[in-house]
Amino acid sequence: MENVRLIVGLGNPGAKYARTRHNVGFQLVERLAERWRATWTTEKKFKSAVARVERNGTTILLCQPQTFMNASGDAVGPLVSYYRVPVAQVLVAVDDADLPMGEIRLRERGSSGGHHGLESIETHLGTRDFVRLRIGIGRTDDGRREITDYVLAPFSATETVLVDRVLKAAAAQVECWLDAGIGKAMSQFNGVVKDSV
């Protein structure tokens, strides 16, 4: 289908993970669903929560895989196949510990950067040529590589204020990608999120 876009937010299902750093992708697609007044439904055959909206002549599918992060491709692969979504029209929003908190970075394609959710999607789609929106969550101050406890912890009260601003900017960037293309969306939004967004 030519006029279908799939926007996937990565995260882990369940209340205990809902506001953790690792679930910022889930939070972004929730924000988009609110903006577009889209309703979530559970799609068991796609192992996902899916919200569907028509916007400017385009069908947009929002997806929260319910497979847990490391098996995200088990949900995304079947969705892409069933709806025949061109890979270039798939956007995956993901947390990035190597990007400082307060920064966002949209790319046309790229590596997984060691993110297991992205690795799973790459495996199922057989390509890296899908759009990815990395949302910075930073790292622990001590610079450890093992950060499981950090990414699975909730944002602090101070961070939550910043994350709200970041999600607002990221949602605007997704809309820019939909309306004006990848180039404009990258040049206009990539980098540190401004206070005025």
HSE (side-chain half, CA atoms, 13 Å) at 56? 7
d(CA 101, CA 76): 26
Of residues 21, 30, 152, 6, the one with CA closest to residue 80: 6
Q: Is 116 an annotated catalytic residue?
A: no
Q: 93 phi and psi, to 5 degrees?
A: -95, 130
Q: 118 phi and psi, to 5 degrees?
A: -65, -40
Catalytic residue among 22, 115, 116, 124: 22
Handedness of CA 127, 33, 19, 186 (dihedral sign): positive
Catalytic residues: 22
